[in-house]
Structure 1
Amino acid sequence: MTTLTIDHVSRWFGNVVAVNDVTMEIGPGVTGLLGPNGAGKSTLIHMMSGFLAPSSGTVTLDGRTIWRNEQSYREIGLVPERESMYDFLTGAEFVVANAELHGLADPGAAARRALDTVEMTAAQDRKISTYSKGMRQRVKMASALVHEPSVLLLDEPFNGMDPRQRLHLMDLLRQMGADGRTVLFSSHILEEVEQLAHHIEVVVAGRHAASGDFREIRRLMTDRPHRYLIRSSDDRALAAALIADASTSGIELDVRERALRVQAVDFRGFTELLPRVAKDAGIRLFEVSPSDESLESVFSYLVAA
């Protein structure tokens, strides 16, 4: 049972703080690292994999420091987001080279097993330069699995994959988690995490925003205040009817936009209230649209929660 521990870790580049005092523990099973682009997910993964030193704090694997610890690298597989690869090699040559770097007894056999696991056997003799983005992702996955690591770290692994490839990779990661491996993958797409990971870690602007069971985090996201832009046949009458209900905490009449801006504190209650009030008052609803549904707004709420 392998556990990654990140203890009060920060990482800065000059005056830019990429990761700010993050503490989390990643154990066996599948964990999702969720956050908007630029949140610090890649920097965290690079420190977890031993490719980047923390500016402060420690990253350990079962109590052993990872940075410059050659033994820990034997237990970790990394699938980076970056596309930089040795395009002049074939897929098989690339995976064999990684097997040789790990000092495996039979690099060829190990490479064949890894390529078969990610369904790349048919294309293994083609140059990487001819691969699609999804194929590149899969051959990177094969190189990360070639030494059968107990820890697998994946940075945005589903980028560029078609639906069939995504389903196959999800099934593979679920099986690895069920087998007791420690699997962590990053994503900025909520639905990817929801389909694959029950436990998630949320990072925003380099800070640790939330941690726990996915359903609980999802509830926090759903229960946060929601803001809506509403256009109707009688905005003033609609505002008067809505403000009296406990599901709303603020209503503003936007004269320039000729619309209402409504903040709802009870998502379910408001979605039931609005059509009922409009029908009872004979008000026609022309537009009801969320005005704060970006991932950044969702995650920013979690930071403050």
Structure 2
Amino acid sequence: MSVIRIEKVSRWYGNVVAVNDVTMTIGPGVTGLLGPNGAGKSTLITMMAGFLPPSVGSVTLDAVAVWRNVSAYSEIGLVPETEAVYDTLSGTDFVRANAELQGLTDAGAAAAAAISVVAMEDAAGRRISTYSKGMKQRIKMAAALVHEPSVLLLDEPFNGMDPRQRLHLMELLRKMGTEGRTVLFSSHILEEVQQVATHIEVVVSGRHAASGDYRAIRTLMTDRPMLYRLRSSDDRRLAAALIADPCTAGADLDGTALQVRVIDFERFSRLVPQLSRELGIRLFEVSPTDESLESVFSYLVGSR
């Protein structure tokens, strides 16, 4: 039952701040590290694995710093986003090499067991250069699991996997979580995290934005003000009617369309067609303008 603690951690590269004053605790079970590309997820995972020191702050595994702590490597399994494989080796040789680096007494048996866990027996004898992206992800998973670590860290593990492979990995992560292992995986897709993780940590622009279960994070995202673009036969009358209702926080006319800040989407979705009928206004367009993950996460950071 291992616990990773990140305390007031920042990491910078020259003038670039990759992680900015992050504090979080990763305990047993499956945790999703959610954020858009470039949010600092990979940097955080690399520091948790002990391969990168924080510029300030501390990263500990069971109250012991992981940086330059060789004994921590026997408790941690890492699946990096980069390929990090030797294409000239077979899958079996690659996993066995990792078992030997861990000092296991029967590296061959350990490698065979790990390969079986990720369902790669049929392709294990082939060179990794012949593998698809999804197969490379699975053989990296086998290498990370070969020493049966108590902590498993995965950076965008579902990239390149077909639907069958994704379902298999999701089930495997859930199983390890219920066994009491500490599992953390990163993703930029909320629904992907929701299917596996019991707890979610959100990061954006290197900062910790939110923490909680899927329901809490979804509520934070959907309850935020949203910007909608409307075009109609009479934007001014429509704007006046919308501003008078508490479901909106303001509206702007830019000459070609109406931009409305919505704070109660459910009411807004009913109100717009109702006003259209009552006022005799024709609607040409009603569309969200800021539904990207970056805008959602940026709101979470700004609301802290």
Normalising TM by the smaller chain, what interval? over 0.9
Tell me how far apart the structure 1 counterparts of residues 207 and 157 of structure 2 sit (CA, whole Å): 22
Equivalent position SS for 2:51? coil
Quick one: which amino acid aligns to residue 304 of structure 1?
G
Larger deviation: 283-292 or 20-29?
A: 283-292
Q: In terms of mean alpha carbon deviation, does 205-214 or 36-45 score higher?
A: 205-214
The aligned runs of 1:64-213 (5 Å cut-off) are 64-213=64-213
Asked whether the 8 Å contact 1:204–1:300 carries over to 2, the reply is: yes
Give the unaligned 5+ runs of structure 2.
Answer: none
Partner SS state of residue 103, structure 2: coil
Aligned-partner residue type, residue 128 of structure 1: I
CA–CA separation in structure 1 for the residues paired with 2:278 and 2:142:
61
In structure 2, what residue type is equivalent to 1:70? V
**1:208-227 residue pairs with structure 2 within 5 A?**
208-227=208-227
Q: Which 4+ residue blocks in structure 1 deviate beyond 4 angstroms?
A: none
Answer yes or no: is the 8 Å Cα contact 2:29–2:198 preserved in 1: no
Q: How many angstroms does 1:83 deviate by?
A: 1.6
Deviation of the 1:208 alpha carbon: 0.8
Matched, 1:261 2:265: no
Name which of structure 1's ranges 295-304 and 274-283 shifts more when overlaid on structure 2: 274-283
Is 1:295 the counterpart of 2:293? The answer is yes
Corresponding residue for residue 20 of structure 1 = 20
Q: Secondary structure at the match of 1:113?
A: helix
**Matched letter for residue 121 of structure 1:** E
RMSD (Å), alpha carbons: 0.9
| C-alpha displacement of 1:276 | 1.5
- Residues in 2 aligned to 1:293 and 1:128: alpha-carbon distance in whole angstroms: 39
Match in the other structure for 1:234:
234
- Could you tell me how far apart the structure 2 residues matched to 1:187 and 1:171 are? 16
Q: Secondary structure at the match of 1:177?
A: helix
Alpha-carbon separation, structure 1, partners of 2:6 and 2:28:
15
**C-alpha separation between the residues in 1 aligned to 2:277 and 2:198?**
40
Out of 9-18 and 156-165, give the one that drifted further. Answer: 9-18
How big is each residue's C-alpha offset from its partner over 1:255-294, in whole Å with a ceiling of 9 and x where there is no partner? 1xx2111100112111121121112222222211111111
- How far off its partner does 1:17 sit? 1.1
Contact 1:252–1:262 (Cα < 8 Å) also in 2: yes
Paired with 2:229 and 2:198, the residues of 1 have a C-alpha distance of 33
2:48 aligns with 48
Counterpart contact for 2:210–2:217, Cα < 8 Å:
yes
Unmatched 5+ stretches in structure 1: none
SS at match of 2:88: coil
How big is the shift at 1:190? 1.1
Query: C-alpha distance in 2, partners of 1:157/1:279?
Result: 49
Secondary structure at the residue paired with 2:195?
helix
More displaced stretch, 93-102 vs 276-285: 276-285
**Is the CA contact (8 Å cut-off) linking 1:198 and 1:215 kept in structure 2?**
no
Return the offset for 1:93.
0.5
Q: SS at 2:209's partner residue? A: strand
Q: TM-score, normalised by structure 1?
A: 0.97
3-state SS of the aligned residue for 2:171? helix
Aligned-residue offset at 1:162: 0.5
Instruction: Decide which moves more: 211-220 or 88-97.
Output: 211-220
Aligned to 2:58: 58
Q: Which residue of 2 aligns with 1:277?
A: 275
| Cα contact 1:231–1:288 (8 A) shared by 2 | yes
SS at match of 2:77: strand
Question: Deviation at 1:218?
Answer: 0.9
Instruction: Tell me how far apart the structure 2 counterparts of residues 249 and 7 of structure 1 sit (CA, whole Å).
Output: 37
Cα deviation, residue 196, structure 1: 1.2
